[in-house]
A and B are shown apart, each in its own frame.
Chain A
Amino acid sequence: MASVTLDKINKVFGHDHIIKDVDLDIGNGEFVVFVGPSGCGKSTLLRLIAGLESITDGELSIGEQVVNELPPRERGVGMVFQSYALYPHMTVYENMAFGLKLAKESNETIEERVMATARILQLEELLHRKPKALSGGQRQRVAMGRAMAREPRILLFDEPLSNLDASLRVQMRNEIARLHHRLGSTMVYVTHDQVEAMTLADKIVVLNAGRVEQVGTPQELYQRPLTKFVAGFIGSPTMNFLPAELVAGTAEGCRVRANGVGELPLPQEPGRHDAGDALTLGVRPEHLGLAPASGDNAFEIVNVEYLGNEVYVYLEPKEGDTLLIHRSEAPSRWQTGERVALVPDPEHVHLFDAENRALVAKRARSVA
């Protein structure tokens, strides 16, 4: 077990600057998830930690040791690959023992470690099978076992569940979470799936175009996204965005006008922004109330999705082509074709400026 510190890490491939000045502290025993859209550099960042890519600039420490120049085997990291990458010609036992053999461990130690790992992952029955005779979930567990058998200080996961079907994915997600509770080891996990990130992480790192957008607990990211990108990325269905305009700053915060919503008093402080500045209003589907309405300001309901426990109501937007979404518990009184007004809950409205940075509410700041 160990902590990991990234200090101004940069990675350049040819002319592409993939990772830009990433600073990050990963605590001992923490489960950290790198999340972001494809091409944001999350896998590259993981591979930099693993030692599979060289660091262009910056300093990477594991424990107290700077490991920039160390090869992977001396960093004490284990990695689980997306395609599992099991050795096809070796049995499950040999797969898990391979790293230990290369480390010149004694036969007793190898057997002891492999058996202990197999017990944790319930692989004892499968030790003499070859990978091709295993199901997807079993291969996944063997891949984890191979990474764990050498007792690395840090376990790295590169989108380990993306090759599994939906139900198995939920099951393996649970197993990984329980594994982390049991082992208490430091884990770094890469995914593009924000649900995996939310459910597994102690700490989520949202990456966008090679930069860290925000680092925080799942709750922090959900409730107080610092940028419009994070707000849109975390949460499903995604947050609704409405173009808005700052009317004035007030003692409680500010007043904002949005097309189709009217003027809203909000707790956010305008800061350096002046009346008339363009802003973006962000409201999560569950905080977007609806009321019957008519006239020019009303929105039309274009679709209603019934999911059993809840209902998604889709509204034709005034601008752009992204449908607005309202979420409520089933049953819903709304039907396709009805016209409604938006009633956002002012307590849960987010404001973003033209640079996509969040305006901070007064209360939130006094808490912080």
Chain B
Amino acid sequence: MTSRQLNKLATRIGFWVLVAVVLIYAIFPFYYAVITSLKPSSELFSVSYWLDSLDFSNYVAIFSQGSFVRAIFNSILVSISVVAIALLLGITASYALGRVRFRGRTTVMLVILGVSMFPQVAVLSGLFEVIRGLGLYNNPAGLILSYTIFTLPFTVWVLTTFMKQLPQELEEAAIMDGATPWVTITKVFLPLMWPAMATTGLLAFIAAWNEFLFALTFTLSDDQRTVPVAIALISGGSQHELPWGPIMAASVTVTVPLVVLVMIFQKRIVSGLTAGAVKG
């Protein structure tokens, strides 16, 4: 072997080692959660990295709890509502901010961005008062309201950027054809904005699906909780037992829909995220 071939081999090995490290770093926690969820609780604390047998008792356990199923339903309701409201308001706001020239447009954009800078905990107490004042405490509507507040700035920004790139003449052609702004948005712009909508919608969905702090603060009873809180509150037989098996089973269960969604929208997300970068 010449030194050049050796060099090449070393580079190759180095490359694949690096890939392996990155893969393990990224996937191992999730992998460990999956195998933990598939072990009976008796084997829980014997560390092993392979599955010897499949045991679905943890899944059976969490799904036999009415409150967990109820929490999944709540999460779906809240997340889908947040996405729908955020996209509707986002699209209409981005039309105004992206296509209509008016005084103070930049200021509005900056205020929207500024609002999204606040950490959740900073607005927690204020938001709590608002939600109680509106009578939405311990009600999914309260969560929908508070998540929308944090999702909208992002949605509006991304959609506005996208809307600005649509050619001016396209809108004017629609005006000449007799379209009102609403028809222009729904019939002309919307079909062209699917990639951006899929991206922002999915990110809004994930944010709402995984949110914990508001969900914990603004709900009280089991039948109003969302999944992250429900998982956190899964308790064992005694205060000395942490039921890792069911917790992992629940976590895996609620992650799967996200993975499926990302896979479905994968291509669109990419084209949506890069839409601003290069002119397609």
A binds B: yes
A50 to B167, CA, bound (A): 18
Instruction: Classify chain B's interface size.
Output: 10 to 19
> B177 to chain A: which residues have CB within 8 Å?
73, 98-99, 102, 146, 150
A168 an interface residue at 8 Å Cβ cutoff? Answer: no
The residue of chain B having its C-beta at the shortest distance from the C-beta of A52 within the complex is: B172
Give the most central of B172, B175, B177, B191: most A CB within 10 Å: B177
A79 an interface residue at 8 Å Cβ cutoff? Answer: yes
Q: From residue A183, how far is it (CB to closest CB) to chain B in Å?
A: 18
Given B169, B178, B183, B187, which contacts A81 in the complex, CB threshold below 8 Å?
Answer: B169
> A99 to chain B: which residues have CB within 8 Å?
176-178
Q: Kindly supply a per-residue 1/0 record for chain A positions 50-90, scoring 1 wherever the CB is within 8 Å of any chain B CB and 0 otherwise.
A: 10100000000000000000011100011101110111110
B178 touches A72 (CB 8 A): yes
List CB contacts (< 8 Å) of B205-219 with chain A: none
Q: Kindly supply a per-residue 1/0 record for chain B positions 172-214, scoring 1 wherever the CB is within 8 Å of any chain A CB and 0 otherwise.
A: 1111111100010001100110000000000000000000000
- Indicate whether A77 sits within 8 Å of B176 (C-beta atoms), given known contacts A85-B167, A85-B169: yes
B170 an interface residue at 8 Å Cβ cutoff? Answer: yes
> B167 to chain A: which residues have CB within 8 Å?
83, 85
Q: From residue B272, how far is it (CB to closest CB) to chain A in Å?
A: 16
- Indicate whether A73 sits within 8 Å of B178 (C-beta atoms), given known contacts A87-B188, A102-B183: yes
> A83 to chain B: which residues have CB within 8 Å?
167, 169
A78 to B179, CA, bound (A): 13
B175 touches A85 (CB 8 A): no
Given A82, A87, A102, A147, which contacts B178 in the complex, CB threshold below 8 Å?
Answer: A102
A146 touches B172 (CB 8 A): no
A275 an interface residue at 8 Å Cβ cutoff? Answer: no
Instruction: Classify chain A's interface size.
Output: 20 to 34
The residue of chain B having its C-beta at the shortest distance from the C-beta of A77 within the complex is: B176
The residue of chain B having its C-beta at the shortest distance from the C-beta of A103 within the complex is: B178
Q: From residue B163, how far is it (CB to closest CB) to chain A in Å?
A: 15
The residue of chain B having its C-beta at the shortest distance from the C-beta of A147 within the complex is: B176
List CB contacts (< 8 Å) of B244-259 with chain A: none
Q: From residue B105, how far is it (CB to closest CB) to chain A in Å?
A: 15
Q: From residue A212, how far is it (CB to closest CB) to chain B in Å?
A: 25
- Indicate whether A89 sits within 8 Å of B191 (C-beta atoms), given known contacts A99-B178, A102-B179: yes
> B170 to chain A: which residues have CB within 8 Å?
85, 87
> B188 to chain A: which residues have CB within 8 Å?
87
A81 to B176, CA, bound (A): 11
Q: From residue A102, how far is it (CB to closest CB) to chain B in Å?
A: 4
Q: From residue B209, how far is it (CB to closest CB) to chain A in Å?
A: 30
A88 to B173, CA, bound (A): 12
A50 touches B176 (CB 8 A): yes
List CB contacts (< 8 Å) of B118-172 with chain A: 167, 169-170, 172
Q: From residue A75, how far is it (CB to closest CB) to chain B in Å?
A: 9
A87 to B184, CA, bound (A): 11
> B174 to chain A: which residues have CB within 8 Å?
87, 98
A145 to B29, CA, bound (A): 60
A81 to B171, CA, bound (A): 11
Q: From residue A90, how far is it (CB to closest CB) to chain B in Å?
A: 8
A77 to B167, CA, bound (A): 21
> B175 to chain A: which residues have CB within 8 Å?
52, 71-73
A210 to B140, CA, bound (A): 60
A146 touches B173 (CB 8 A): yes
A-B contact pairs, 26 of them (CB 8 A): A52-B172, A52-B176, A72-B178, A73-B178, A78-B176, A79-B173, A79-B176, A81-B172, A82-B169, A83-B167, A85-B167, A85-B170, A85-B172, A87-B173, A87-B188, A98-B177, A98-B187, A99-B177, A99-B178, A102-B178, A102-B179, A102-B183, A103-B178, A146-B173, A150-B177, A150-B178
Q: Known contacts A83-B169, A87-B188; can you find 20 more A-B pairs with CB under 8 A?
A: A52-B172, A52-B175, A52-B176, A71-B175, A72-B176, A72-B178, A73-B177, A79-B172, A79-B173, A79-B176, A81-B173, A83-B167, A85-B169, A85-B172, A87-B170, A102-B177, A102-B178, A102-B179, A146-B173, A150-B177
